[in-house]
Structure 1
Amino acid sequence: MDLDVRSDDNCHLWVEQAGAGPPLVLCHGGPGLWDYLDPVARLLQDHARIIRWDQRGCGRSQRLGPYSVARFVADLDAVRDQLAGPRMALLGHSWGAHLALRYTIEHPERVSHLIYVSGTGIDPDRGWHPHYERNLRLRLGRHLDRWEALNARTRTPAEDREQAVLQWSADFADHGTALEHAERMATPWLGINYDCNQAINAGVRHELTNAEVAERCRALDLPVLIIHGTEDIRPRWAVDSLHRALTNSQRLSLTGSGHLPWVENPHDFRQAVTTFLTHAADRPSGMG
């Protein structure tokens, strides 16, 4: 069911809700993309009421700035307030994992469980991006020349989609099906908001350098599940400091899967998340 949430500054946010049970809100990655987590919703909607949304300026939501981490946290709180109720579980993927973590730091009393999928951690000094860039080029293989040519020039909308599909194909472990999975992610094509991407990425870098995120993570007292695929081209060691900082977290590597582990290992992903939501200690945060 498609819904419309209005933020506190009257930005229209596209939202979809499915399933029944305790609310679980999904935060897609990007930044600057739209929600692609419908397969996650289908895997989990027998166990929770799944709420997914397009972030401000992205996909079916209104293209209205400003684009900042704080603004997106406020938008997520509007989704919670209008649809999820006083308390929700959160699942974030990639950049969305950071958004979910940042929301939890700001509003721990409003989060029952946090599921941090394929994030890149909180350590500003242990840069993961050069590692990612090397692995991206290796994984692209025979498509590298075309990707580099597209990346180096101003693109038409069709070329923009082609470049994204090639880049996203590197996020899957199985070369034989990678392009098919990436094409599915890009259908329908809703366009990338590059202004949003640049602003949010800069905001995250500034925040990790200046906001004492690790110290604030140590103050959290709620269950956290960290999931990543063993074949993700982003380094798994990037989340080491986050795992150490969280006092009530568990960490799981899903074999044979890349950056979107629910695509290539859906059975284990579903089992891990549903078990966590059902059995993890749901202790009140005690923080205001």
Structure 2
Amino acid sequence: METRYTPSRVRLRRRTERPGRLNWLFLPGGPGLGSESLHELIDALDVPGSCWAVDLPGDGSNHVEAGDPFAAWPQVLLEAADALPNPIFAGHSTGGMYLLSTPALERRLAGLVLLSTAPDANWRSHYEATVASEPLPAFDAALHAYSAQPTTEHLRALCVASAEWNFNKAGLEMGRNLLARMPYNREAVEWSDTNFDSAYVANWWPARLPTMILAGSDDRIVGQSGWDDARFKGPHVRRVAIAGAGHFPWIENPGAVRRAFADLAEAALAYTAD
């Protein structure tokens, strides 16, 4: 796996390579999960060009030994976009929110994919409703343990205990396995919780950049109603609901996700040909 680092230690690891001029940059959610959470997504796709798993400095397994790795979050995303020609950024959940907090990306990108994400922090009311209506005693116990002792292993146990909210029954076993093998990084979780999550509001929107808003039809984590606003519509915007899927829709319905990305690839190739 080819690995590159930007000056601020954003890590890009090439996962797949096909003929074509596009470079697909996959930014994980969480934060703290690591880009390993997107491997099944990347492997499910058949798009022209190279697919890169991206980790910000201090996120996932991308540890930084000196200095404050979070000092330039999320603006450090610009370095990743500048590292490769014709980049398309795809951000999952909080990753998509970081992308929409970095306006200078617009003139650098060949496309934008927003996966299971939202335009502002109001998505949290949807998550809170899920927690209230679908209680998980194992999650409550794991949360208590993590609050008392915030270790990486307790964070992993907490995320695995949330699997029934993140995945439908068809994807539950695969989803648990996915969450169990992530590297996790509690410092990234704490930084985002303190500095970003509750105050998040998208501060840019593409004027003509090929854009796809994609989410599972049964996402119980991030509510999608915020995208109904007219300002998020336009001929350059595709909105795709993946049937029978949850917060990681490529787990339950990879075929539909593959087709959606193929459609965006066509639009991005036309856009970069202008």
Q: 2-side partners of 1:98 and 1:4: how far apart? A: 24
Aligned 8 A contact 1:165 1:179 in 2: no
Q: Secondary structure at the match of 1:256?
A: coil
Counterpart CA distance in 1 for 2:184 and 2:87 is: 29
Cα pair 1:6 1:13 within 8 Å, conserved: yes
Q: 1:185 is matched with which residue?
A: 179
Residues 150-161 of structure 1: matches in 2 within 5 Å?
150-161=145-156
Q: CA deviation at 1:149?
A: 3.7
**Residue number in structure 2 paired with 1:259:** 247
Does structure 1 residue 24 correspond to structure 2 residue 24?
Answer: yes
Q: Give CA-to-partner distance per residue, 1:56-94, whole Å, 9 cap, x none.
A: 1022313352425x53332x3323333x22x21111110
* Separation in structure 1 between the aligned mates of residue 142 and residue 173 of structure 2, nearest angstrom: 13
Number of the residue aligned with 1:200: 192
Name the CA distance, whole Å, in 1 between partners of 2:177 and 2:219: 18
Does the 8 Å CA contact 1:140/1:169 hold for their aligned counterparts?
no
In the aligned structure 1, how far is the partner of 2:217 from the partner of 2:249? 9
- Structure 1 residue 152 displacement after superposition: 4.4
SS of equivalent to 2:162: helix
Relative contact order higher in (CA < 8 Å, ≥ 6 apart): 2
Contact 1:227 1:253 in 2 (8 A): yes
Partner amino acid, structure 2, of 1:26: F
Question: How far is 1:197 from its partner?
Answer: 2.4
Equivalent residue number for residue 93 of structure 2: 94
- What code does the residue aligned with 2:191 have? A
Paired residues, number: 265
Give secondary structure in 1 for the equivalent of 2:246.
Answer: coil
AA aligned opposite 2:247: H
Q: Is this contact kept in 1: 2:156–2:179, CA < 8 A?
A: no
Distance 1:251 1:157, change over 3 A: closer
Q: CA deviation at 1:230?
A: 1.1
Relative to structure 1, is the Cα distance of residues 44 and 177 closer, same or farther in structure 2, using a 3 angstrom cutoff? closer
What amino acid does structure 1 have at the position aligned with 2:189? N
Q: Secondary structure at the match of 1:107?
A: helix
Give distance in 2, aligned partners of 1:204 and 1:162: 22
The one of 88, 104, 107 equivalent to 1:106 is 104
Q: Which structure 1 segments of 5+ residues have no match?
A: none
8 Å Cα contact 1:44/1:270 also seen in 2: yes
Instruction: Give the deviation of 1:181 after TM superposition.
Output: 1.2
Q: Which amino acid aligns with 1:25?
A: L
Aligned-pair Cα RMSD in Å: 2.8
- Give CA deviations for 1:2-49 in whole Å, capped at 9, x if unaligned: 413032x4x363533421222111111112221111112112255331
Distance 1:15 1:140 in 2: 37
| Structure 2: runs of 5 or more not aligned | none
Counterparts in 2 of 1:184 and 1:32: CA distance versus 1, 3 Å: closer
Note the alpha carbon deviations across 1:159-194, whole angstroms, 9 max, x for none: 3321121124420121x642541222331x42323x
SS at the partner of 1:227? strand
Counterpart of 1:29 in 2: which secondary structure? coil
For 2:81, the aligned partner's letter is R
- Residue number in structure 2 paired with 1:232: 219
Question: Against the structure 1 CA distance between its residues 12 and 178, is the aligned structure 2 distance closer, same or farther, given a 3 Å change threshold?
Answer: same
Q: Distance in 2 between matches of 1:28 and 1:110?
A: 20
Give 2:217's aligned amino acid: T
Which residue is 2:55 aligned to? 54
Identify if the C-alpha distance between structure 1 residues 4 and 113 changes in structure 2 by more than 3 Å, giving closer, same or farther.
Answer: closer
Q: Provide closer, same or farther for how the CA distance between residues 88 and 144 of structure 1 changes in structure 2, counting only shifts above 3 A.
A: closer
Q: Judging changes above 3 Å, is the alpha-carbon distance between structure 1 residues 154 and 142 closer, same or farther for their aligned structure 2 residues? A: closer
Shift of 1:53: 1.7
> Kindly, what percent of the aligned residue pairs are identical?
20
**Partner SS for 2:166:** coil
Deviation, 1:258, is: 0.5
Correspondence for 1:165 among 160, 168, 171:
160
Aligned residues of 2:210 and 2:268 also touching (Cα < 8 A):
yes
Please give the alpha-carbon distance, in whole angstroms, between the structure 2 residues aligned to 1:98 and 1:259: 15
Q: Distance in 2 between matches of 1:240 and 1:264?
A: 24
What does residue 146 of structure 1 align with?
141
